[in-house]
Structure 1
Amino acid sequence: MSVSFTEIEAAVGAVGRMGATAPVVIGGMVLTGLEVPDELVVGGQQQLTVHRLLGGGRVIDVLGNDPDRLILRGRFVGPQAQARARMVERMRAAGAAVAFSAAGLSCQVWIAQFAYSYQARGAVCAYMLVLERADLAAAAAEDVGGAISGDVGGALSGLSAVVSDVSGGVYTLAGQVGTIVGQVTPVAALLGAGGAVATVTNALAAVNGAAQAGVDLAGAPSVVSTLLSGLSAAGSGLSTLLGQTGANLEGIVLSDGASLGAATQNAGLASAAADAAGLVNRAAANVALAGGVTPSVPVG
Protein backbone atom coordinates (compact mmCIF):
# COMPACT_ATOMS: atom_id res chain seq x y z
CA MET A 1 0.00 0.00 0.00
CA SER A 2 1.44 3.38 -1.01
CA VAL A 3 1.59 6.29 1.43
CA SER A 4 1.15 9.84 0.19
CA PHE A 5 3.34 12.75 1.26
CA THR A 6 0.22 14.35 2.78
CA GLU A 7 -0.23 11.33 5.05
CA ILE A 8 3.46 11.38 5.99
CA GLU A 9 3.27 15.11 6.76
CA ALA A 10 0.29 14.54 9.06
CA ALA A 11 2.10 11.72 10.83
CA VAL A 12 5.28 13.72 11.32
CA GLY A 13 3.27 16.65 12.66
CA ALA A 14 1.61 14.31 15.15
CA VAL A 15 5.02 13.14 16.34
CA GLY A 16 5.91 16.74 17.08
CA ARG A 17 2.84 17.17 19.26
CA MET A 18 2.60 13.81 21.00
CA GLY A 19 4.90 14.82 23.85
CA ALA A 20 2.55 17.58 25.02
CA THR A 21 1.52 15.35 27.91
CA ALA A 22 4.03 15.41 30.75
CA PRO A 23 5.97 12.16 30.97
CA VAL A 24 5.34 9.45 33.57
CA VAL A 25 8.26 8.24 35.68
CA ILE A 26 8.24 4.84 37.35
CA GLY A 27 11.43 3.55 38.89
CA GLY A 28 14.19 4.07 36.35
CA MET A 29 11.80 4.28 33.39
CA VAL A 30 10.43 7.41 31.77
CA LEU A 31 7.26 6.91 29.73
CA THR A 32 6.88 9.59 27.06
CA GLY A 33 4.91 10.16 23.88
CA LEU A 34 2.67 7.24 22.98
CA GLU A 35 3.79 5.31 26.09
CA VAL A 36 2.10 7.80 28.43
CA PRO A 37 -1.00 6.08 29.86
CA ASP A 38 -4.34 6.79 28.22
CA GLU A 39 -5.93 6.52 31.66
CA LEU A 40 -4.79 7.09 35.23
CA VAL A 41 -7.36 6.31 37.91
CA VAL A 42 -6.70 8.19 41.16
CA GLY A 43 -8.77 8.18 44.34
CA GLY A 44 -8.96 7.12 47.94
CA GLN A 45 -11.01 6.98 51.09
CA GLN A 46 -11.12 8.75 54.42
CA GLN A 47 -11.18 6.01 57.04
CA LEU A 48 -14.00 6.68 59.49
CA THR A 49 -15.21 4.80 62.56
CA VAL A 50 -18.82 5.55 63.38
CA HIS A 51 -20.07 5.02 66.96
CA ARG A 52 -23.86 4.93 67.03
CA LEU A 53 -25.47 6.20 70.24
CA LEU A 54 -28.86 5.68 71.82
CA GLY A 55 -31.41 8.05 70.36
CA GLY A 56 -29.81 8.15 66.93
CA GLY A 57 -26.72 10.17 67.80
CA ARG A 58 -23.35 9.38 66.30
CA VAL A 59 -19.72 9.98 67.17
CA ILE A 60 -17.32 9.79 64.24
CA ASP A 61 -13.60 9.16 64.64
CA VAL A 62 -11.49 10.21 61.66
CA LEU A 63 -8.65 7.70 61.28
CA GLY A 64 -6.89 9.22 58.29
CA ASN A 65 -6.40 9.06 54.57
CA ASP A 66 -6.36 5.70 52.79
CA PRO A 67 -5.34 6.26 49.15
CA ASP A 68 -6.63 3.75 46.62
CA ARG A 69 -4.28 1.96 44.30
CA LEU A 70 -3.34 3.82 41.15
CA ILE A 71 -4.51 2.15 37.94
CA LEU A 72 -2.80 2.97 34.64
CA ARG A 73 -3.60 1.71 31.16
CA GLY A 74 -1.56 2.42 28.05
CA ARG A 75 0.71 0.79 25.50
CA PHE A 76 4.33 0.39 24.55
CA VAL A 77 4.89 0.93 20.83
CA GLY A 78 7.77 0.19 18.49
CA PRO A 79 10.62 -2.31 18.17
CA GLN A 80 11.42 -2.02 21.90
CA ALA A 81 7.81 -2.42 23.05
CA GLN A 82 8.16 -5.89 24.55
CA ALA A 83 11.57 -5.10 26.06
CA ARG A 84 10.07 -2.05 27.75
CA ALA A 85 7.17 -4.10 29.07
CA ARG A 86 9.59 -6.68 30.46
CA MET A 87 11.47 -3.94 32.34
CA VAL A 88 8.28 -3.13 34.24
CA GLU A 89 7.66 -6.85 34.79
CA ARG A 90 11.10 -7.20 36.37
CA MET A 91 10.36 -4.26 38.70
CA ARG A 92 7.13 -5.99 39.74
CA ALA A 93 8.92 -9.27 40.39
CA ALA A 94 11.61 -7.54 42.49
CA GLY A 95 8.96 -6.34 44.95
CA ALA A 96 10.83 -3.16 45.90
CA ALA A 97 9.34 0.31 46.33
CA VAL A 98 10.06 2.61 43.38
CA ALA A 99 9.57 6.31 42.67
CA PHE A 100 6.47 7.28 40.71
CA SER A 101 5.60 10.64 39.18
CA ALA A 102 2.68 11.58 36.93
CA ALA A 103 -0.17 14.07 36.63
CA GLY A 104 1.07 16.15 39.56
CA LEU A 105 1.60 13.10 41.82
CA SER A 106 5.01 12.25 43.24
CA CYS A 107 5.30 9.32 45.64
CA GLN A 108 6.83 5.94 46.40
CA VAL A 109 4.86 2.97 45.06
CA TRP A 110 4.93 -0.80 44.92
CA ILE A 111 3.89 -2.53 41.71
CA ALA A 112 0.96 -4.61 42.93
CA GLN A 113 -0.05 -5.87 39.50
CA PHE A 114 1.25 -5.61 35.95
CA ALA A 115 0.03 -7.29 32.78
CA TYR A 116 0.68 -6.67 29.11
CA SER A 117 -0.65 -8.15 25.88
CA TYR A 118 1.65 -9.03 22.99
CA GLN A 119 0.13 -7.52 19.84
CA ALA A 120 1.17 -6.86 16.24
CA ARG A 121 4.08 -9.32 16.59
CA GLY A 122 5.50 -7.40 19.50
CA ALA A 123 5.31 -3.92 17.92
CA VAL A 124 2.50 -3.02 20.32
CA CYS A 125 2.22 -4.15 23.94
CA ALA A 126 -0.87 -2.79 25.69
CA TYR A 127 -0.40 -2.74 29.47
CA MET A 128 -2.32 -2.41 32.71
CA LEU A 129 -0.43 -1.32 35.83
CA VAL A 130 -1.70 -1.24 39.43
CA LEU A 131 0.36 0.64 42.02
CA GLU A 132 0.11 0.63 45.81
CA ARG A 133 1.23 4.05 47.03
CA ALA A 134 2.57 5.58 50.18
CA ASP A 135 1.02 8.67 51.71
CA LEU A 136 1.47 11.49 49.19
CA ALA A 137 2.21 14.23 51.71
CA ALA A 138 4.80 12.14 53.53
CA ALA A 139 6.43 11.05 50.29
CA ALA A 140 6.63 14.62 49.01
CA ALA A 141 8.27 15.77 52.24
CA GLU A 142 10.92 13.03 52.13
CA ASP A 143 13.01 14.26 49.25
CA VAL A 144 11.86 17.39 47.44
CA GLY A 145 15.39 18.02 46.20
CA GLY A 146 15.54 14.52 44.74
CA ALA A 147 12.23 15.03 42.94
CA ILE A 148 13.41 18.34 41.47
CA SER A 149 16.74 16.86 40.45
CA GLY A 150 15.00 13.86 38.90
CA ASP A 151 12.72 16.05 36.78
CA VAL A 152 15.53 18.34 35.66
CA GLY A 153 17.83 15.40 34.97
CA GLY A 154 15.10 13.73 32.93
CA ALA A 155 14.62 16.88 30.87
CA LEU A 156 18.36 17.11 30.26
CA SER A 157 18.76 13.48 29.26
CA GLY A 158 15.75 13.60 26.94
CA LEU A 159 17.03 16.67 25.11
CA SER A 160 20.57 15.30 24.94
CA ALA A 161 19.38 12.02 23.42
CA VAL A 162 17.44 13.73 20.65
CA VAL A 163 20.23 16.23 19.95
CA SER A 164 22.65 13.31 19.68
CA ASP A 165 20.34 11.57 17.20
CA VAL A 166 19.89 14.73 15.11
CA SER A 167 23.60 15.55 15.14
CA GLY A 168 24.58 11.96 14.38
CA GLY A 169 22.40 11.81 11.31
CA VAL A 170 19.75 9.42 12.65
CA TYR A 171 17.03 11.89 11.68
CA THR A 172 18.75 13.00 8.45
CA LEU A 173 17.70 11.37 5.20
CA ALA A 174 19.37 13.76 2.76
CA GLY A 175 20.41 17.38 2.41
CA GLN A 176 20.32 20.17 4.95
CA VAL A 177 17.30 21.81 6.55
CA GLY A 178 18.21 25.25 5.25
CA THR A 179 17.83 24.09 1.64
CA ILE A 180 14.13 23.19 1.97
CA VAL A 181 12.30 26.52 2.08
CA GLY A 182 13.44 29.99 3.03
CA GLN A 183 11.25 30.43 6.10
CA VAL A 184 12.49 27.27 7.84
CA THR A 185 15.01 27.88 10.65
CA PRO A 186 17.98 25.54 10.10
CA VAL A 187 18.31 22.90 12.82
CA ALA A 188 21.97 23.89 13.16
CA ALA A 189 20.83 27.31 14.40
CA LEU A 190 18.72 25.65 17.10
CA LEU A 191 21.58 23.41 18.22
CA GLY A 192 24.43 25.95 18.03
CA ALA A 193 26.18 27.63 20.96
CA GLY A 194 23.67 30.48 21.00
CA GLY A 195 20.67 28.39 19.99
CA ALA A 196 17.56 27.57 21.99
CA VAL A 197 18.74 24.05 22.88
CA ALA A 198 22.02 25.35 24.31
CA THR A 199 20.13 27.94 26.38
CA VAL A 200 17.91 25.24 27.84
CA THR A 201 20.64 22.71 28.60
CA ASN A 202 22.92 25.33 30.22
CA ALA A 203 20.10 26.56 32.47
CA LEU A 204 19.03 23.03 33.42
CA ALA A 205 22.60 22.00 34.22
CA ALA A 206 22.89 24.90 36.67
CA VAL A 207 19.53 24.04 38.27
CA ASN A 208 20.47 20.38 38.53
CA GLY A 209 23.69 21.21 40.36
CA ALA A 210 21.89 23.40 42.87
CA ALA A 211 19.11 20.87 43.42
CA GLN A 212 21.59 18.08 44.15
CA ALA A 213 23.30 20.14 46.86
CA GLY A 214 20.85 18.81 49.46
CA VAL A 215 19.84 22.25 50.80
CA ASP A 216 16.60 22.59 52.77
CA LEU A 217 14.73 24.94 50.44
CA ALA A 218 12.33 26.05 53.17
CA GLY A 219 15.23 27.83 54.92
CA ALA A 220 17.23 28.92 51.89
CA PRO A 221 15.39 31.67 49.96
CA SER A 222 18.50 32.50 47.92
CA VAL A 223 18.69 28.92 46.61
CA VAL A 224 14.96 28.97 45.81
CA SER A 225 15.48 32.19 43.87
CA THR A 226 18.42 30.68 41.96
CA LEU A 227 16.47 27.54 41.08
CA LEU A 228 13.39 29.45 39.93
CA SER A 229 15.54 31.83 37.88
CA GLY A 230 17.26 28.90 36.15
CA LEU A 231 13.96 27.12 35.50
CA SER A 232 12.51 30.36 34.09
CA ALA A 233 15.47 30.66 31.70
CA ALA A 234 15.02 27.03 30.66
CA GLY A 235 11.30 27.67 30.16
CA SER A 236 12.01 30.65 27.93
CA GLY A 237 14.38 28.58 25.81
CA LEU A 238 11.86 25.73 25.56
CA SER A 239 9.12 28.14 24.49
CA THR A 240 11.42 29.45 21.76
CA LEU A 241 12.33 25.91 20.67
CA LEU A 242 8.69 24.83 20.56
CA GLY A 243 7.77 27.92 18.58
CA GLN A 244 10.57 27.53 16.05
CA THR A 245 10.13 23.81 15.48
CA GLY A 246 6.35 24.23 15.28
CA ALA A 247 6.75 26.95 12.65
CA ASN A 248 9.18 24.74 10.76
CA LEU A 249 6.75 21.82 10.74
CA GLU A 250 4.06 24.12 9.37
CA GLY A 251 6.42 25.56 6.75
CA ILE A 252 8.07 22.42 5.39
CA VAL A 253 6.45 21.05 2.23
CA LEU A 254 7.15 17.33 1.91
CA SER A 255 8.28 16.81 -1.64
CA ASP A 256 11.41 14.68 -1.41
CA GLY A 257 13.75 12.86 0.97
CA ALA A 258 15.47 16.04 2.12
CA SER A 259 12.22 17.68 3.18
CA LEU A 260 11.10 14.51 5.00
CA GLY A 261 14.43 14.44 6.86
CA ALA A 262 14.00 18.08 7.84
CA ALA A 263 10.47 17.49 9.09
CA THR A 264 11.53 14.46 11.11
CA GLN A 265 14.41 16.39 12.71
CA ASN A 266 12.07 19.15 13.78
CA ALA A 267 9.43 16.71 15.01
CA GLY A 268 12.03 14.99 17.20
CA LEU A 269 13.19 18.27 18.71
CA ALA A 270 9.59 19.44 19.24
CA SER A 271 8.64 16.21 21.01
CA ALA A 272 11.70 16.36 23.29
CA ALA A 273 11.01 20.03 24.06
CA ALA A 274 7.39 19.29 24.97
CA ASP A 275 8.43 16.46 27.29
CA ALA A 276 11.07 18.69 28.90
CA ALA A 277 8.51 21.48 29.34
CA GLY A 278 6.31 19.25 31.49
CA LEU A 279 9.26 18.29 33.69
CA VAL A 280 10.45 21.89 34.03
CA ASN A 281 6.97 23.09 35.03
CA ARG A 282 6.68 20.35 37.65
CA ALA A 283 10.16 21.10 39.01
CA ALA A 284 9.22 24.78 39.34
CA ALA A 285 6.03 23.85 41.21
CA ASN A 286 8.04 21.68 43.63
CA VAL A 287 10.61 24.45 44.21
CA ALA A 288 7.86 26.99 44.89
CA LEU A 289 6.07 24.60 47.25
CA ALA A 290 9.24 23.79 49.19
CA GLY A 291 10.30 27.44 49.36
CA GLY A 292 6.88 28.75 50.34
CA VAL A 293 6.61 31.12 47.38
CA THR A 294 3.93 31.68 44.75
CA PRO A 295 4.26 29.02 42.02
CA SER A 296 4.84 30.04 38.42
CA VAL A 297 4.67 28.22 35.10
CA PRO A 298 7.97 28.55 33.17
CA VAL A 299 6.51 27.10 29.98
CA GLY A 300 2.99 28.29 29.23
Structure 2
Amino acid sequence: MSGIVGSGLIDLLVASLDQAPVVLGAVVLLGHEVPSRIRLGGAQAVTIHRLPGGNRIIDAMGVDDGSISWSGYFTGPGAASRARLFDSMRKAGQAIPLSFGDYAFNVVVVHFEYDLQDRGALISYRIRTEIVPDDTPQVSNTSDALVALLSGDVAAASAALAELGLVAAQAPLADLQTVLPTAGSPNSAVALAAMTAALAASASAVQSGILSSGTVLQPTTSSNFAGDLNAGSLSTMVNAAGDHGAYVKAAGYVNRSNNWVDELSGQPQGVPLILA
Protein backbone atom coordinates (compact mmCIF):
# COMPACT_ATOMS: atom_id res chain seq x y z
CA MET A 1 0.00 0.00 0.00
CA SER A 2 1.46 3.37 -0.97
CA GLY A 3 2.08 5.99 1.66
CA ILE A 4 -0.32 8.38 -0.08
CA VAL A 5 -3.18 5.88 -0.04
CA GLY A 6 -2.47 4.91 3.55
CA SER A 7 -2.42 8.56 4.62
CA GLY A 8 -5.73 9.19 2.87
CA LEU A 9 -7.41 6.31 4.67
CA ILE A 10 -6.03 7.50 8.00
CA ASP A 11 -7.42 10.99 7.32
CA LEU A 12 -10.80 9.43 6.54
CA LEU A 13 -10.78 7.49 9.80
CA VAL A 14 -9.84 10.54 11.83
CA ALA A 15 -12.56 12.60 10.11
CA SER A 16 -15.17 10.00 11.00
CA LEU A 17 -14.51 10.66 14.69
CA ASP A 18 -15.46 14.31 14.28
CA GLN A 19 -19.04 13.68 13.16
CA ALA A 20 -21.89 14.35 15.58
CA PRO A 21 -25.39 13.49 14.38
CA VAL A 22 -27.55 16.31 13.02
CA VAL A 23 -31.05 15.10 12.20
CA LEU A 24 -33.66 17.18 10.34
CA GLY A 25 -36.99 15.45 9.95
CA ALA A 26 -36.19 11.88 8.93
CA VAL A 27 -32.86 12.88 7.34
CA VAL A 28 -29.49 12.35 9.03
CA LEU A 29 -26.85 14.77 7.76
CA LEU A 30 -23.67 13.03 6.65
CA GLY A 31 -20.06 14.02 5.95
CA HIS A 32 -19.75 17.53 4.52
CA GLU A 33 -23.50 18.03 4.99
CA VAL A 34 -22.83 18.36 8.73
CA PRO A 35 -22.24 22.02 9.63
CA SER A 36 -19.17 23.06 11.58
CA ARG A 37 -21.23 25.83 13.16
CA ILE A 38 -24.94 26.22 13.98
CA ARG A 39 -26.31 29.58 15.05
CA LEU A 40 -28.67 29.61 18.05
CA GLY A 41 -30.11 32.12 20.50
CA GLY A 42 -32.60 34.93 20.14
CA ALA A 43 -33.93 37.92 22.00
CA GLN A 44 -36.37 39.02 24.64
CA ALA A 45 -39.24 40.96 23.07
CA VAL A 46 -39.56 44.26 24.93
CA THR A 47 -41.50 47.50 24.80
CA ILE A 48 -39.52 50.51 26.01
CA HIS A 49 -41.40 53.52 27.40
CA ARG A 50 -39.07 56.53 27.43
CA LEU A 51 -39.94 59.08 30.11
CA PRO A 52 -38.96 62.73 30.60
CA GLY A 53 -35.62 63.18 32.28
CA GLY A 54 -34.08 60.09 30.73
CA ASN A 55 -36.04 57.55 32.73
CA ARG A 56 -37.61 54.60 31.01
CA ILE A 57 -39.79 51.61 31.71
CA ILE A 58 -39.03 48.30 30.03
CA ASP A 59 -41.87 45.83 29.64
CA ALA A 60 -40.63 42.32 28.93
CA MET A 61 -43.08 40.77 26.46
CA GLY A 62 -41.66 37.25 26.28
CA VAL A 63 -39.10 35.08 24.56
CA ASP A 64 -38.37 35.81 20.91
CA ASP A 65 -36.32 32.84 19.71
CA GLY A 66 -34.06 33.54 16.77
CA SER A 67 -33.75 31.37 13.73
CA ILE A 68 -31.47 28.33 13.64
CA SER A 69 -29.28 28.46 10.56
CA TRP A 70 -26.28 26.71 9.11
CA SER A 71 -24.56 25.84 5.84
CA GLY A 72 -22.85 22.81 4.36
CA TYR A 73 -22.16 20.83 1.21
CA PHE A 74 -23.75 17.97 -0.70
CA THR A 75 -21.24 15.93 -2.66
CA GLY A 76 -21.11 12.99 -5.02
CA PRO A 77 -23.69 11.44 -7.32
CA GLY A 78 -26.50 11.87 -4.79
CA ALA A 79 -25.87 15.58 -4.18
CA ALA A 80 -28.73 16.86 -6.34
CA SER A 81 -31.29 14.45 -4.89
CA ARG A 82 -30.24 15.40 -1.33
CA ALA A 83 -30.62 19.11 -2.17
CA ARG A 84 -34.08 18.53 -3.65
CA LEU A 85 -35.07 16.55 -0.54
CA PHE A 86 -34.17 19.47 1.71
CA ASP A 87 -35.91 21.91 -0.64
CA SER A 88 -39.08 19.81 -0.38
CA MET A 89 -39.06 20.48 3.37
CA ARG A 90 -39.07 24.22 2.64
CA LYS A 91 -41.94 23.86 0.18
CA ALA A 92 -44.00 21.71 2.59
CA GLY A 93 -43.82 24.32 5.36
CA GLN A 94 -44.53 21.70 8.01
CA ALA A 95 -43.17 21.51 11.56
CA ILE A 96 -40.46 18.85 11.71
CA PRO A 97 -38.01 17.75 14.43
CA LEU A 98 -34.44 19.06 14.45
CA SER A 99 -31.78 17.69 16.79
CA PHE A 100 -28.04 17.98 17.25
CA GLY A 101 -25.88 17.32 20.29
CA ASP A 102 -28.19 17.63 23.30
CA TYR A 103 -30.56 20.07 21.56
CA ALA A 104 -33.97 19.16 20.14
CA PHE A 105 -36.56 21.46 18.57
CA ASN A 106 -39.62 21.46 16.36
CA VAL A 107 -38.87 23.75 13.45
CA VAL A 108 -40.16 24.95 10.09
CA VAL A 109 -37.70 25.34 7.21
CA VAL A 110 -38.27 28.93 6.10
CA HIS A 111 -35.31 29.41 3.79
CA PHE A 112 -33.19 27.00 1.77
CA GLU A 113 -30.99 27.73 -1.21
CA TYR A 114 -28.19 25.88 -2.92
CA ASP A 115 -25.55 26.43 -5.60
CA LEU A 116 -24.58 23.78 -8.14
CA GLN A 117 -20.82 23.60 -8.64
CA ASP A 118 -18.64 21.35 -10.77
CA ARG A 119 -21.64 20.34 -12.89
CA GLY A 120 -23.63 19.28 -9.85
CA ALA A 121 -20.96 17.06 -8.25
CA LEU A 122 -20.60 19.65 -5.46
CA ILE A 123 -23.55 21.63 -4.10
CA SER A 124 -23.16 24.23 -1.38
CA TYR A 125 -26.30 24.99 0.63
CA ARG A 126 -27.62 27.41 3.22
CA ILE A 127 -30.64 26.73 5.41
CA ARG A 128 -32.62 28.70 7.97
CA THR A 129 -35.28 27.28 10.29
CA GLU A 130 -37.66 28.91 12.75
CA ILE A 131 -38.48 27.31 16.09
CA VAL A 132 -42.11 26.37 16.64
CA PRO A 133 -43.01 27.53 20.19
CA ASP A 134 -43.91 24.73 22.55
CA ASP A 135 -47.28 26.34 23.31
CA THR A 136 -48.26 26.66 19.64
CA PRO A 137 -50.78 23.93 18.82
CA GLN A 138 -49.66 22.15 15.69
CA VAL A 139 -52.03 19.21 16.11
CA SER A 140 -55.18 18.60 18.14
CA ASN A 141 -53.27 16.74 20.86
CA THR A 142 -49.73 17.84 21.70
CA SER A 143 -49.11 14.69 23.73
CA ASP A 144 -50.07 12.54 20.75
CA ALA A 145 -47.62 14.48 18.58
CA LEU A 146 -44.79 13.94 21.06
CA VAL A 147 -45.58 10.23 21.27
CA ALA A 148 -45.47 10.04 17.46
CA LEU A 149 -42.09 11.78 17.41
CA LEU A 150 -40.81 9.50 20.17
CA SER A 151 -42.03 6.38 18.38
CA GLY A 152 -40.32 7.46 15.15
CA ASP A 153 -37.00 8.16 16.86
CA VAL A 154 -37.08 4.88 18.79
CA ALA A 155 -37.71 3.02 15.52
CA ALA A 156 -34.84 4.91 13.85
CA ALA A 157 -32.49 4.09 16.73
CA SER A 158 -33.48 0.42 16.54
CA ALA A 159 -32.81 0.37 12.80
CA ALA A 160 -29.36 1.91 13.30
CA LEU A 161 -28.53 -0.63 16.01
CA ALA A 162 -29.79 -3.51 13.87
CA GLU A 163 -26.79 -2.90 11.61
CA LEU A 164 -24.57 -3.66 14.59
CA GLY A 165 -26.54 -6.54 16.10
CA LEU A 166 -26.31 -4.87 19.52
CA VAL A 167 -29.05 -6.79 21.36
CA ALA A 168 -28.22 -5.13 24.69
CA ALA A 169 -29.26 -1.78 23.23
CA GLN A 170 -32.11 -3.00 20.99
CA ALA A 171 -34.00 -5.02 23.63
CA PRO A 172 -34.74 -2.03 25.92
CA LEU A 173 -36.04 -0.06 22.93
CA ALA A 174 -38.38 -2.91 22.04
CA ASP A 175 -39.63 -2.88 25.65
CA LEU A 176 -40.13 0.89 25.44
CA GLN A 177 -42.40 0.58 22.41
CA THR A 178 -44.73 -1.71 24.35
CA VAL A 179 -45.46 1.01 26.94
CA LEU A 180 -45.99 3.91 24.53
CA PRO A 181 -49.38 5.55 25.12
CA THR A 182 -52.02 5.17 22.44
CA ALA A 183 -53.62 8.22 20.82
CA GLY A 184 -55.73 10.13 23.28
CA SER A 185 -54.66 8.11 26.30
CA PRO A 186 -53.11 9.82 29.34
CA ASN A 187 -49.43 9.48 30.08
CA SER A 188 -49.19 7.48 33.29
CA ALA A 189 -46.28 8.01 35.66
CA VAL A 190 -45.58 4.27 35.52
CA ALA A 191 -45.30 4.27 31.71
CA LEU A 192 -43.08 7.37 31.71
CA ALA A 193 -40.79 5.81 34.34
CA ALA A 194 -40.59 2.62 32.27
CA MET A 195 -39.68 4.61 29.14
CA THR A 196 -36.99 6.53 31.03
CA ALA A 197 -35.48 3.30 32.39
CA ALA A 198 -35.53 1.64 28.96
CA LEU A 199 -33.77 4.58 27.32
CA ALA A 200 -31.15 4.64 30.08
CA ALA A 201 -30.43 0.93 29.58
CA SER A 202 -30.15 1.32 25.82
CA ALA A 203 -27.99 4.43 26.19
CA SER A 204 -25.56 2.57 28.46
CA ALA A 205 -25.02 -0.12 25.82
CA VAL A 206 -24.63 2.42 23.02
CA GLN A 207 -22.16 4.46 25.09
CA SER A 208 -20.06 1.33 25.63
CA GLY A 209 -20.09 0.69 21.89
CA ILE A 210 -18.94 4.23 21.15
CA LEU A 211 -16.09 3.93 23.64
CA SER A 212 -14.96 0.49 22.42
CA SER A 213 -15.01 1.40 18.72
CA GLY A 214 -13.35 4.73 19.48
CA THR A 215 -10.54 2.96 21.34
CA VAL A 216 -9.67 0.98 18.20
CA LEU A 217 -9.44 4.23 16.26
CA GLN A 218 -7.14 5.97 18.72
CA PRO A 219 -3.64 6.57 17.32
CA THR A 220 -0.97 4.20 18.59
CA THR A 221 1.70 5.50 20.92
CA SER A 222 4.30 4.53 18.35
CA SER A 223 6.04 7.41 16.63
CA ASN A 224 5.68 5.56 13.32
CA PHE A 225 1.88 5.24 13.23
CA ALA A 226 1.56 4.95 9.43
CA GLY A 227 4.43 2.49 9.27
CA ASP A 228 2.85 0.24 11.87
CA LEU A 229 -0.28 -0.22 9.75
CA ASN A 230 -0.75 -3.44 7.85
CA ALA A 231 -3.67 -4.90 5.91
CA GLY A 232 -5.12 -6.58 8.99
CA SER A 233 -4.90 -3.60 11.34
CA LEU A 234 -6.19 -1.20 8.70
CA SER A 235 -9.16 -3.46 7.99
CA THR A 236 -9.92 -3.55 11.72
CA MET A 237 -9.80 0.23 11.89
CA VAL A 238 -12.05 0.65 8.85
CA ASN A 239 -14.61 -1.71 10.40
CA ALA A 240 -14.38 0.12 13.72
CA ALA A 241 -14.92 3.45 11.94
CA GLY A 242 -18.10 2.09 10.37
CA ASP A 243 -19.32 0.78 13.72
CA HIS A 244 -18.45 4.05 15.41
CA GLY A 245 -20.50 6.00 12.89
CA ALA A 246 -23.50 3.68 13.40
CA TYR A 247 -23.22 4.02 17.18
CA VAL A 248 -23.07 7.82 16.96
CA LYS A 249 -26.06 7.85 14.63
CA ALA A 250 -28.07 5.71 17.08
CA ALA A 251 -26.93 7.95 19.95
CA GLY A 252 -28.54 10.97 18.29
CA TYR A 253 -31.89 9.19 18.10
CA VAL A 254 -31.69 7.84 21.67
CA ASN A 255 -30.79 11.27 23.06
CA ARG A 256 -33.64 12.90 21.19
CA SER A 257 -36.05 10.17 22.33
CA ASN A 258 -35.11 11.02 25.90
CA ASN A 259 -35.88 14.69 25.18
CA TRP A 260 -39.39 13.73 24.02
CA VAL A 261 -39.93 11.68 27.20
CA ASP A 262 -38.82 14.69 29.26
CA GLU A 263 -41.41 16.83 27.46
CA LEU A 264 -44.12 14.21 28.00
CA SER A 265 -43.21 14.27 31.70
CA GLY A 266 -43.39 18.06 31.81
CA GLN A 267 -39.69 18.26 32.60
CA PRO A 268 -37.05 20.49 30.99
CA GLN A 269 -34.61 18.75 28.67
CA GLY A 270 -31.70 17.37 30.66
CA VAL A 271 -28.15 16.44 29.78
CA PRO A 272 -27.78 13.92 26.95
CA LEU A 273 -27.77 10.27 27.96
CA ILE A 274 -24.97 9.48 25.52
CA LEU A 275 -21.85 11.54 24.94
CA ALA A 276 -20.79 10.93 21.35
Q: Which amino acid aligns with 2:203?
A: G
Give 1:149's aligned residue.
151
* 1:63 aligns with one of 51, 61, 71: 61
Question: Which deviations, in whole Å up to 9, do the C-alpha atoms of 1:121-159 show, x marking residues without a partner?
Answer: 434322100223322454799333233223323322333
Give 2:4's aligned residue.
3
Give 1:177's aligned residue.
none
Aligned partner of residue 38 in structure 2, secondary structure? strand
CA contact (8 A) 1:100 1:108 kept: yes
Give 1:221's aligned residue.
189
Aligned partner of residue 8 in structure 1, secondary structure? helix
CA contact (8 A) 2:104 2:256 kept: no
- Cα distance, 1:120 vs. partner? 4.4
CA contact (8 A) 2:213 2:243 kept: yes
Aligned partner of residue 77 in structure 2, secondary structure? coil
Asked whether 1:97 is paired with 2:108, we answer no
Distance 1:247 1:200 in 2: 19
Q: Which amino acid aligns with 1:80?
A: G
TM-score, normalisation: structure 1: 0.72
CA contact (8 A) 1:235 1:277 kept: yes
Question: Which deviations, in whole Å up to 9, do the C-alpha atoms of 1:136-186 show, x marking residues without a partner?
Answer: 4547993332332233233223334xx2xxxxxxxxxxxxxxxxxxxxxxx
User: Which ranges in structure 2 are unaligned for 5 or more consecutive residues?
Assistant: none
* 2:161 aligns with one of 141, 159, 162: 159
Q: 1:33 to 1:216 in 2, by over 3 A?
A: farther
CA contact (8 A) 1:46 1:66 kept: yes
Question: Which deviations, in whole Å up to 9, do the C-alpha atoms of 1:222-244 show, x marking residues without a partner?
Answer: 11221111111111211222233
User: Which ranges in structure 1 are unaligned for 5 or more consecutive residues?
Assistant: 164-189, 192-196
Give 1:135's aligned residue.
133
- Cα distance, 1:86 vs. partner? 1.2
- Cα distance, 1:270 vs. partner? 0.8
Q: Which amino acid aligns with 1:84?
A: R
- Cα distance, 1:85 vs. partner? 0.8
Q: Which amino acid aligns with 1:79?
A: P
Distance 1:49 1:230 in 2: 46
Counting only pairs closer than 5 Å after superposition, residues 15-30 of structure 1 correspond to structure 2 as 15=16, 17-19=17-19, 21-25=20-24, 27-30=25-28
CA contact (8 A) 2:21 2:29 kept: no
Q: Which amino acid aligns with 1:149?
A: S
Give 2:123's aligned residue.
125
CA contact (8 A) 2:21 2:28 kept: no
Equivalent residues, number: 259
Q: 1:235 to 1:265 in 2, by over 3 A?
A: same
CA contact (8 A) 2:112 2:128 kept: yes
Q: 1:208 to 1:72 in 2, by over 3 A?
A: farther
Question: Which deviations, in whole Å up to 9, do the C-alpha atoms of 1:181-230 show, x marking residues without a partner?
Answer: xxxxxxxxx63xxxxx122122223224434635544xx22112211111
State percent identity of aligned pairs: 27
Distance 1:34 1:245 in 2: 22
CA RMSD of aligned residues (A): 3.2
